Amino acid sequence: MSYKNFPMVPRVIFGRGSFNQLNDILEPKRLNSKAPFIFLVDDVFKNNAWLTSRIPLAYGDRIIYISAAEEPKTSQVDELVEDIILTTKERPSGIVGIGGGTLLDLAKAVSIMLTNEGEAKDYQGWDLVKNEAVYHVGIPTISGTGAEVSRTTVLTGPEKKLGINSDYTPFDQVVLDSELTQDVPKEQWFYTGMDCYIHCIESLEGSYLNAFSQSYGEKAFDLCKEIFLDNNLSEVESQEKLMMASWHGGMSIAYSQVGVAHAMSYGLAYLLGTKHGIGNCIVFDHLEEFYPEGVKLFKEMKAKHNIELPQGICANLTDADFDIMIKVSLGMAPLWENALGKNWKNIMTPEKLKSLYQKM
């Protein structure tokens, strides 16, 4: 038996207002005055001086505002890398991602592609990255994805939706400042928080489970229940706990794997562009067969927060459309094996998967 030697985020700062210490964190990492820091920032903050005025710019540092309306693409990573190479005198001192899972994943991918030749799509898969990435920092402004702690950066490429899973992907530094999550719209808060909840269920119910994953998964699961069901927390407590639930949920996946909901939502995202958080919710709502207790609790949370999920998103799809989603989804072999065991192909046939998609 050969065990994974798993890399973790080496430095993390936690606390409300810790974003103010960004300059102290970055300056020692500045290579020289010609090697700038590039800040990739969700464009929802474009006119938000409360946040942007505190981004410490010096020398040739730059903010690039990016919309998170769509899931990150390999082509988008390639364009960003080309833009950065053409506009900087030297390789950047670092890449800083400020936003949700989309911005964090873009920051990870860009930092990798600045030191590895070719296109981002060439690195979709497991352990294909050859060279260490540029120094990169993750600053989440919404909690739940676990992107701040994972060793992947999930991208939609020309052929598939798949992460760049590598030892060079995790951030060198993460800043967990729950104050930055204060203006998240309620639906978004719920969908992204449920991404974390679903990570827990899929990890805890999976065949890859071990004590390492379980300890993180159980903690994240308990925090999710406290936040989304018990509901007797102050706003600040809720924000801080969800930030830690996201961290623990991400760590739980690190040494195991996700399952049916993620495998299926990748198909939705690839074909329909469905965002990850809401996509997971749409799928998970129909997975009683695989996660009976988890889905029951999910429906309780959904009712408690008056969340109406979109219905009939697969209603007008052709057979060819279904085939595309099925191909993408069944391509996620480790997820299916974790969820259903070694004989997963006998259980999750293309026909079975199609019948599940048809419910959505």
Contact 248, 223 (CB under 8 A): yes
Torsion of CA 178, 179, 181, 184, to 10 degrees: 150
Which residue from 239, 265, 255 is spatially nearest to 338, judged by alpha carbons? 255
How far apart are the C-alpha atoms of 28 and 209, rounded to whole Å?
39
How far apart are the C-alpha atoms of 335 and 316, rounded to whole Å?
27
CATH classification (class only), 12-181? alpha beta
Number of other residues whose CB lies within 10 A of the CB of residue 182? 12
Is the Cα torsion angle 58, 42, 199, 299 positive or negative in sign?
positive
Question: Do 186-358 and 12-181 fall under one CATH topology?
Answer: no
State whether residue 312 is helix, strand or coil.
coil
The per-residue pLDDT string of the chain (360 residues; one tens digit each, 9 = 90 and over) reads 888 899 999 999 999 999 999 999 999 999 999 999 999 999 999 999 999 999 999 999 999 999 999 999 999 999 999 999 999 999 999 999 999 999 999 999 999 999 999 999 999 999 999 999 999 999 999 999 999 999 999 999 999 889 999 999 999 999 999 999 999 999 999 999 999 999 999 999 999 999 999 999 999 999 999 999 998 999 999 999 999 999 999 999 988 999 999 999 999 999 999 999 999 999 999 999 999 999 999 999 999 999 999 999 999 999 999 999 999 999 999 999 999 999 999 999 999 999 999 999
Q: What is the CATH number of domain 186-358?
A: 1.20.1090.10
Sequence ranges of the domains in the chain: 12-181, 186-358
Question: What does the angle CA 91 – CA 94 – CA 96 come to, to the nearest 5 degrees?
Answer: 140
pTM of the model as a whole: 0.95
